[in-house]
Every structure is written in C-alpha cells, then in structure tokens.
Structure 1
C-alpha cells in the first residue's frame, strides 16, 4: 500500500507540473510585473521588453532568469544585466550600459576596456575616431591613451588615430592636419614633434597640412595653404 501511495503522489505531482508548464492552470505566484532600472539613457524600454518576448511565461518561481539576463545582454548598449525576483509577483532587471570612449571604425563604439559594440543607429557623440585592422582594438586604444597623455602638453587636439594594415600609425588633428608616425618609436617621434611645435613661428598663424615624423632626427611638414 505504501508503494501505491508513493506512486500516486508522484503521478499527481507530475500531472500538476505538466499542467503548470503547459499553461493549463494558473501558476502559483504568477508573474505580473517587470521593472527596469540602472543605466538606461541610451536604451528604450520598448526594446528591453521586446527582447523578453517568450521569456516571461510561467510564474515567478518557474521563469528562467538566466535566459532573461541573456536576452537583455544581447542588446548592443547593455554591458551586463542582473535579474531579481521580487515577491510576490515581479521581476526587477538592473542594467549596466557600455560607456564608449571613442568611435571605432565604421558604425561601432569602443569602451575603455577595448570592448567594441555596434548600436544602431550610431548616436551623435563628440568622441575621437579610432580605427585599425581586425583584432587590433586593444592595441589602438592603448596607443590612443599614450598619445593623449603626450598631447596634454601641446595646443593640439586629436580628432582621429588609425593603424593601417602595414601597422603604421596616422594621427589626424582637429584642424585637419595629419601626422604620419610610422611603425616604430611612435611616442618618441610624437614627443619630439610636440617639443619642436612650440618653437615654430608659423604654428600660430597657419594650419598644418601634413607632418612626416618618420625621419631619424627630425620631421618634414607642409602647411594647408601649400596644398
């Protein structure tokens, strides 16, 4: 009799779970509300709710919080998301957004950790442009940080920094001037140029066109009005 009783309990529990899983009965602690907080400036709540379609079935206890977190983190602006059950009928999703420090290539942004993400549309942000071959994001970002430290001592504003397929660097200034830095001794070449820039009389009255810093003991430059 004991075995029969146990078998009946298992059968009843299995039938109840099947009915709950299939939506045949109303779940205990039904999920009624989903709320969002955190860094939402670049995110639309409609987009957040859209990616949750199909993930909110069942009750508060049976909903798959891991799948919900993954769905939210699939959005380009989302760095991480945490999902909490809030008794008796709600989920609270907290979002941490990516913080871009530069535009990367065409149509992407890059964070201080060299993580590249592609929001659509790309927002209009006052950020420098960085570019490089595939897999070079961390290297370009590191070079950019070093260049910015050097430029603090000069009246020169960086607009973009790029690394080409030959691993040569080009820096473009806000006024349109280009500095060809080459592949080696990049920081030393730039530091030498910055030190000399303050001693060039025409630097205050003319716009730089191109400066080639790849010479061993100096550099060559051309002004924009000479083009």
Structure 2
C-alpha cells in the first residue's frame, strides 16, 4: 500500500494580491477643474455681453434731427431730411447708414451722397447734384461726363443743346458735339442739336449767333447739316470752305446742307416766300 503524503500541520497557503497604482490627485481633479474654468469663462462672457448691451443701449441715442448740406438747385433739403427721418427705425448708433446712402444715390439728381453720424443724436447728409450740360433724346439730361440721368420733370435749360442717340453712345455723341462746336465757332455758328442714328450717321442743326440772339422774339433760322458716317473732319472742312465762298451771303435761304457726297455738296434752299 502506498502511503499518502500529509501536508505539514500548521502550514498556510498565501496568495499575493496585486495592488493597482493610485491616480495622482491632479488627474482626479482634472475634469472638475476644467468644468469650473469653463463655467467661470461663461459667466464672465455673460457679464460682458450684458454689460456691453447696456453700454450699447446707452450710446444708441434716439435720432433727434437730420441735417442736409450741399449746393442744391433741384433737390429740396426739407424733402430729403423728411424722407431720411421716415426711414429711421433705430438709434443713432444702429441706423444703417450704408442703406440710406444707397437709396439716396438712386435718386435721379443725386451725383454723390455721404451720410454720417453727428453726436449725440443727429444724422448729417451731404449731397452733390448732377450738373446737366445738354438735353438727351428729349426725355433725359446729360452731364459733362456723358452720364445720362432722367429726372421726373425736365427743367427749362435755355440754350442747352439737344443731343440724340442710344444711351450707350452718350459719351461719343458728347465728344463729337464738342469737336463740332469748336470747329464751327469761327464761322459764328452754334450747334443746337446733334444726332447719331442707329445706322451710325450724324446729323447736326446749326444756328447763327444773330439768329440765336433773335430767337426770343421770332422763330430761329436753323440749318440742317448731314455729315454721314465717315471722314467727318474732311467733310467739315469742305463745309467751311463752301461757307466762305457761297453760303455766308445766303444763310437765311439755306434749309439743308448734305456733305455725304465724295467730291461735292448738295444744298437745299428754302422755298421762297410769296407775298400776296
């Protein structure tokens, strides 16, 4: 028989327990501290927002008046100031000045506009008007820069020329008018009208200084001059030569001069007036 081995009496079996390392205190407090910081920042921002709003409310004073300045002939300062006042829905700080400027700039007579704040509670509107130098297509006006603008009511412009053409040709027509007027000034002519047709042909109406002076008391005598499309300078020289040799002595009898011919000129005379 096999003898069983006995465990020694009094002996105990010990099992080692592995201990986990403790987290540092800083790591344990990381998220609570971070949350505390975020809460503090949010609180500070809330205070700043509320304080800023109160400051903004304090600075945004009601607009008590509108000033309008500029050398105005067609625009009415009172009408402009009243219109601006009607558009105001905010205080002096929050009013959209750019929107006011855009709307004022869209008015026909306004060339330039600037709107600024004037503390404590005013708006100042500075205006510059368009200055027309000619009538355009009998419905609009033309500035010295060739800009077409169309006011609701055309003013009386005594002595202003009538220029015609497509709106895209306004600058070209104005340039040709200036050239033609300069060339004919020595002949004592005034260009009262100039038109560029859709086909590109030029037609001018001339008036002598004597006829212009008498225009207030009687029907002015106009001479129509057809210049054609090309070689305008050469054709104008031909007209000047003919003026000194033939036309000068018979200006009151001329109805139309056609310069569109290559080597000649056609003159249409007025019908003789018969006295019964």
TM-score by length of 1: 0.86
Distance 1:225 1:195 in 2: 24
When you count helix as a share of all residues, which structure comes out higher? 2
> What is the total number of aligned residue pairs between the two structures?
221
Task: Indicate the RMSD between aligned Cα atoms, in angstroms.
Answer: 2.5
Where does residue 63 of structure 1 map in the other structure? 95
- The structure with higher relative contact order (CA 8 Å, sep 6+) is 1
2:268 alignment partner, SS class: strand
Supply the distance in 2 between the matched residues of 1:177 and 1:63 (Cα, whole angstroms): 57
Out of 217, 221, 231, the position equivalent to 1:185 is: 231
Listed one character per residue, the Cα deviations across residues 187-224 of structure 1 (whole Å, up to 9, x for unaligned) are 22123212321222663562420100112233111222
Checking the alignment, whether the CA contact within 8 Å between 2:66 and 2:85 is kept in structure 1 is no
Alignment partner of 1:155 out of 166, 188, 195? 188
- TM-superposition CA deviations, 1:13-56 (whole Å, max 9, x none): 687699x6xxxxx8732211111111211112344245436532
5+ unaligned residues in a row in structure 1: which ranges? 21-25
Residues 44-74 of structure 1: CA deviation (Å, up to 9, x unaligned) = 2344245436532222211111111112111
Quick one: distance in 2 between partners of 1:79 and 1:147? 28
Match of 2:64 in 1: 32
Structure with greater Cα Rg: 2
Q: Contact 1:177–1:207 at 8 Å: present in 2 too? A: no
1:219 aligns with 2:219: no
Match of 2:174 among 115, 136, 141: 141
Residue aligning to 1:23? none
Equivalent pair of 2:65/2:85 in contact (CA under 8 Å)? no
TM-score using structure 2 length? 0.72
